[in-house]
């Protein structure tokens, strides 16, 4: 009885501790780095062309107000404010990988189409101190109307620009985004400034993040429960050897505890965003990604694909073959997408692709390419080779548009492809405008 009571106390204590950790995670203050605060950075400077030093000037340096006015054509016309994040060692910056978002309050007056926010990350494998451009660049372009009020930018929105990749021609693994050693943050105007007056005022620039990520908290909780379960099982087995009667009671108690742990593990598993069969995102993971895309308000195209006659495959070749078809199709599609595209299993034999900032006709060409790849991916089974095809529906969700509405239109296009004979691509016919391609 004392042993059962002790285990009950341990279980209650574990639950209380788990709840306390989860509550503590929510109550922890946000990690902040306010770059516009005095002393936050080692240095900052305005950049101008060497032969036109008066083109960029402070209006009020204390309040980060400056203007740019190039009266003649210069080969290079910078209009930028740069925050130096490194200290005495210019190759050693700050780890911005611990932050999730950047809140910016920037006022801009001028005709430029875009304001660019960029972060340089010094990587000792290829970056050189004598060449500032060799530090890997991550950037995002914002329209003037995007910053009419304070804006929150996900750091994951910053991507390595194509010109940087082409200029340095490095191995693919060096072109992946990473902000673990950020040495500079720059706000500039990536356009021709000849004859134009631009005024900018940076009111605040704050990086936000969690002190401890949710993933680490959940992993620690899971490890703690597994460790606690292991300790309880070990203790139970050691006491089982002492007497037959006590052994039976311990087995019963262990069965109850194991069932409880399995229930907890099943709850955690359902919270996961990965489809167990195919290894791609499940519906929950897709919905989270679509919410992020919709919040970014940059527009996207949706492609829904459905495996043709999948029920026939299951009925004729068995569910094991059907599962292999799902895995193979998922691998074929994932292998032909960009790193920025989102892909997952929408349900059953349906898959969903979301391409942010892609025109609908480009998405349709991608769908046609995937249709051909799927058609070429014959699968071996006990009854012989299984020929597989898929039908595709493509729709556009313009900036600020409803993702749910775009999903309905993509689904309608998919059904038209099915009705037209399958193994084909159909585009949405109700919305003709296209989202601008992201630069």
Q: Which residues are catalytic?
A: 349
Which residue, 391, 386, 387, 378, is CA-closest to 422? 391
**In this structure, how many other beta carbons lie within 10 angstroms of the beta carbon of residue 243?**
11
Q: Measured between alpha carbons, how far is 131 from 120 in angstroms, rounded to an integer?
A: 12
Which residue, 148, 138, 150, 136, is CA-closest to 103? 150
**In this structure, how many other beta carbons lie within 10 angstroms of the beta carbon of residue 60?**
9
**In this structure, how many other beta carbons lie within 10 angstroms of the beta carbon of residue 413?**
26
Q: Measured between alpha carbons, how far is 74 from 51 in angstroms, rounded to an integer?
A: 8
DSSP 348: T
Q: By 3-state DSSP, what share of the chain in percent is helix, strand and coil, each rounded to 5?
A: 40, 25, 30
- Which are the contacts of 395, defined by CB distance < 8 A and separation ≥ 6? 301, 302, 360, 406, 407, 409, 410, 413, 427, 428, 431
Q: Measured between alpha carbons, how far is 165 from 153 in angstroms, rounded to an integer?
A: 23
Q: Measured between alpha carbons, how far is 256 from 233 in angstroms, rounded to an integer?
A: 12
Q: What are phi and psi of 383, to 5 degrees?
A: -95, 10
Apex 75 CA angle, 71 and 80, nearest 5: 75
How far, CA to CA in Å, does 274 sit from each of 260, 269, 300, 320, 391? 23, 9, 22, 20, 24
Put the strands of the sheet holding 182-188 in their side by side order.
43-47, 80-84, 182-188, 115-121, 136-142
The alpha-helical segments, DSSP class H, found in 336-434 are 360-376, 403-419
**CB-side neighbour CA atoms (13 Å) of 277:** 21
Asked whether 193 and 111 are in contact (CB, 8 A), the reply is: no
């Amino acid at each position: 009885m004392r042993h059962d009571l002790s285990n009950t106390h341990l279980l209650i204590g574990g639950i209380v501790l788990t709840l306390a950790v989860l509550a503590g995670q929510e109550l922890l203050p946000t990690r902040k780095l306010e770059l516009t605060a005095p002393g936050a950075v080692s240095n900052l400077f305005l950049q101008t062309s060497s032969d036109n030093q008066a083109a960029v000037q402070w209006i009020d340096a204390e309040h980060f107000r400056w203007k740019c006015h190039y009266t003649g054509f210069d080969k290079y016309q910078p209009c930028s404010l740069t925050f130096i994040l490194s200290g005495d060692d210019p190759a050693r910056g700050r780890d911005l990988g611990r932050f999730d978002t950047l809140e910016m309050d920037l006022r801009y007056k001028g005709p430029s189409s875009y304001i660019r926010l960029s972060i340089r990350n010094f990587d000792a494998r290829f970056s050189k101190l004598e060449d500032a451009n060799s530090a890997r660049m991550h950037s995002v372009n914002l329209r003037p109307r995007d910053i009419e009020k304070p804006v929150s930018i996900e750091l994951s929105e910053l991507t390595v620009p194509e010109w940087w990749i082409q200029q340095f021609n490095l191995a693919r693994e060096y072109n992946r985004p990473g902000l673990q050693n950020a040495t500079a943050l720059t706000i500039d105007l990536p356009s021709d400034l000849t004859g134009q007056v631009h005024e900018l005022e940076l009111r605040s620039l704050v990086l936000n993040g969690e002190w401890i990520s949710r993933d680490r908290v959940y992993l620690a909780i899971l490890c703690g429960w597994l460790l606690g379960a292991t300790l309880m099982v070990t203790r139970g087995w050691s006491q089982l050897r002492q007497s037959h009667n006590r052994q039976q009671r311990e087995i019963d108690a262990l069965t109850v505890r194991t069932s409880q742990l399995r229930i907890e593990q099943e709850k955690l598993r359902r919270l996961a965003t990965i489809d167990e069969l195919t290894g791609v995102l499940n519906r929950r993971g897709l919905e989270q990604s679509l919410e992020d895309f919709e919040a970014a308000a940059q527009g996207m195209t949706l492609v829904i694909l459905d495996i043709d006659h999948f029920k026939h495959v299951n009925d004729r070749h068995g569910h094991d073959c059907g599962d292999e078809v799902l895995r193979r199709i998922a691998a074929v599609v994932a292998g032909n997408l960009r790193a920025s595209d989102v892909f997952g299993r929408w349900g059953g034999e349906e898959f969903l692709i979301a391409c942010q900032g892609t025109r609908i006709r480009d998405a349709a060409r991608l769908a046609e390419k995937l249709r051909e790849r799927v058609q070429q991916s014959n699968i071996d089974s006990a009854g012989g080779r299984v020929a597989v095809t898929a039908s595709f529906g493509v729709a556009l969700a313009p900036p600020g548009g409803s993702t749910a509405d775009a999903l309905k239109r993509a689904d309608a296009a998919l059904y038209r492809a099915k009705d037209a004979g399958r193994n084909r691509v159909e585009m949405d016919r109700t919305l003709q405008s296209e989202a601008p391609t992201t630069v």
